[in-house]
Amino acid sequence: MSRYRGPKLRITRRLGTLPGLTQKLSKKKGKPGQHGNTGDNNKKITEYCLRLEEKQKLKFNYGLTESQLYRYIKEARRRKGVTGLILLQLLEMRLDTICFALGFAPTIASARQLVNHGHITVNGNVVSIPSFQCRLNDIIGVKPKTISINLIKNNLKNSRLLDRPTHLNFDSSNLEAKVMNYSDRNELLVQLNELLVIEYYSRR
């Protein structure tokens, strides 16, 4: 399955707020589709449905394909520690996710485009791979060109993020940030239960 390029508000109406997907809010109430506004609250929700929705939240918020998410699941299982927490840390250490958390772009999709177009540097070297895994003490910066600097400054002015994550030390004068630690679970902008995502893939 390719990356989702359809209506984003339709997804947020079904799954809830997904800051990485879009900052817009829908004027419509209820879930999308023919039965979205029927008001049938007595319909039983299966365990599979709950797990599927949590998996979809993760997938759409971070802009991942099914195969990409499954690779992250396998990597999280391979490492020692709590699998769900490791999975979230792997996703939060992606270069496009860090650029979004710093306010360099309004969404993760926009941050992915910034990285693809060569506006972002890691330790002084231009990196054009959005899934690049940043490490501790890496310096995330902006390419020293007028176009890149003006683009990032404009996005920072219009950023809706109130606070930056504590694991990133941002220097606004140089437009640089240092990765100080792994992300804190409590600072994630998207509300989800990562254990249900692990359970969803447990039979694969």
Q: Which of 139, 59, 60, 54 is nearest to 95 (CA)?
A: 139
> What is residue 117's predicted lDDT score, i.e. its pLDDT?
94
Structure-block tokens of residue 21: 């997907």
Kindly give the interhelix angle for 47-62 and 8-15, rounded to the nearest 10 degrees: 140
> What is residue 40's predicted lDDT score, i.e. its pLDDT?
53
Which domains are present in the chain? 8-90+188-200 (1.10.1050.10), 94-181 (3.10.290.10)
> What is residue 13's predicted lDDT score, i.e. its pLDDT?
81
pLDDT tens for the chain, residues 1 to 204: 467 777 778 888 888 888 877 777 767 776 766 555 555 555 677 888 889 999 999 999 998 999 999 999 999 999 998 999 999 999 999 999 999 999 999 999 999 999 999 999 999 999 999 999 999 999 999 999 999 999 999 999 888 776 788 899 999 889 999 999 998 888 888 888 899 999 998 876
Q: Which of 73, 50, 58, 56 is nearest to 20 (CA)?
A: 58
pTM: 0.86
CA 130 vs. chain centroid, Å, equals: 11
